[in-house]
Structure 1
Amino acid sequence: MTDTNKPEPSGSDAQDKAVEEELKGVPEEFLDDGDEDQSGEGGLEEALAGLRSDLEAAKQETLYAKAETQNVRRRMEKDVTDARAYAATGFARDILSVSDNLARALDSVPQELRDDEKFKGLVAGIEATQRELDKVFGQHGITRIASMGLPLDPNQHQAMMEVPSDKHEPGTIVQEMQAGFMIKDRLLRPAMVGVAKKPD
């Protein structure tokens, strides 16, 4: 007579069966059979070293990308600022001729006509227009370049002629033929000047 009662599996057998159930469906290449040799451990170290190297390279690339993005953003901000600051440059350069003509008109009016009742209103109107134009220039950062009595500055002055003089050092501006202007920190138009030289 045979014993129909099967022996209860031991604790270790039960654990093995539970592990086998858990590992069902896992690909074989991911399973460790416990028989790794020294070469397997070396391969793992190589893989980890490769991953560390890749991670460091990725960090460097990220830092470079962030720096480049920051540089592009700064360049764009500067371009926008410059565009706002100097947008009126072309128009301002053209309108300077209007200012020149007004100044010439005022300079050409003799004193007796300025005192004449018939011309006082006309002269006052031209002077008011000149003042208004200067005010608008100031609002847009357009300023006149100082010239008379100063040394010649090639960045702001354009020497048109030399004037013999005993009273001034050579290279000193003694005559201004046309006023020069700056727009903020940029040259809008150089001043056309005459400079002193030693008499022959």
Structure 2
Amino acid sequence: MHNSDSPSPTEMPENSAQNASSGQDLDALKARIAELEANNKELRDTVLREKAELENQRRRLHRDLEQARRFANEKLLNDLLPVYDGLERGLAVEGGDVNTVREGMNLTLKELLRIAGNNGLVQVDPVDQPLDPERHHAVSMVEAPGKAPGTVVTVLQKGYVLNDRLLRPALVAVAKDD
């Protein structure tokens, strides 16, 4: 009787080679797993750092926007200070004649209009122009011989445009049909 469980002398080297090969494969797989786990940890750390950096950038942007909102009018207000000073000096003068006061007010108004213009504000003064409902608000119709119907005859209150966007329409009186 021959025992089939025990390897024959000719089979033994083949089994040892397979076992050695399997051991090497197992070691190689373990090394590969360790390498992939290290790579995974490195990628996870990178993602966490990037996420933290994005959060920091978001906070900085929010802070910068808040600062910009708070101080957006700083230049304009700084430009308006001389107008404010001129008005105060004009009010401090006692007993001046009407022409001098009027001249001071005219100079102050010109300075104010210059500053407004430098900041993108333009007056809408549509006298003798056709009514534009996008920029004018007709409050009355008047007899105006020699004027075409629908033409602006009088501006009761000037309108203003800020950087090509209507800020306030002009209040106008319009020529009516004869």
With normalisation by structure 1, the TM-score equals 0.46
1:163–1:196 Cα contact (<8 Å) kept:
yes
**Unmatched tracts of structure 1, length 5 or more:** 1-5, 26-72, 93-101, 103-116
> Does the residue aligned with 1:132 lie in a helix, a strand or coil?
helix
1:123 equivalent in structure 2: 102
Aligned residues: 114
CA shift, 1:132, in A, is 1.0
Q: Which digits, 9 at most, give the CA deviation of each residue in 1:104-140, with x for residues without a partner?
A: xxxxxxxxxxxxx944422221111111111121122
Which of residues 145, 153, 157 is equivalent to 2:132? 153
> Does the residue aligned with 2:142 lie in a helix, a strand or coil?
strand
> Closer, same or farther in 2 for the Cα pair 1:150/1:23, shift >3 Å?
same
1:127 maps to a residue whose letter is: N
Task: Quote the RMSD (CA, aligned, Å).
Answer: 3.8
Q: Which digits, 9 at most, give the CA deviation of each residue in 1:157-178, with x for residues without a partner?
A: 1101111233122111111111
2:117 equivalent in structure 1: 138
Q: Which digits, 9 at most, give the CA deviation of each residue in 1:19-74, with x for residues without a partner?
A: 2333669xxxxxxxxxxxxxxxxxxxxxxxxxxxxxxxxxxxxxxxxxxxxxxx9x
> Does the residue aligned with 2:167 lie in a helix, a strand or coil?
strand
> Closer, same or farther in 2 for the Cα pair 1:122/1:146, shift >3 Å?
closer
The whole-number CA distance in structure 1 between the counterparts of 2:103 and 2:18 is 111
With normalisation by structure 2, the TM-score equals 0.51
1:166–1:198 Cα contact (<8 Å) kept:
no
Task: Please say if 1:176 is aligned against 2:155.
Answer: yes
CA shift, 1:185, in A, is 2.3
Which of residues 18, 21, 27 is equivalent to 1:19? 21
The whole-number CA distance in structure 2 between the counterparts of 1:133 and 1:182 is 15
> Closer, same or farther in 2 for the Cα pair 1:24/1:126, shift >3 Å?
closer
1:19 maps to a residue whose letter is: S
CA shift, 1:7, in A, is 5.6
2:138 maps to a residue whose letter is: A
1:34 equivalent in structure 2: none
CA shift, 1:9, in A, is 6.8
Q: Percent identity?
A: 33
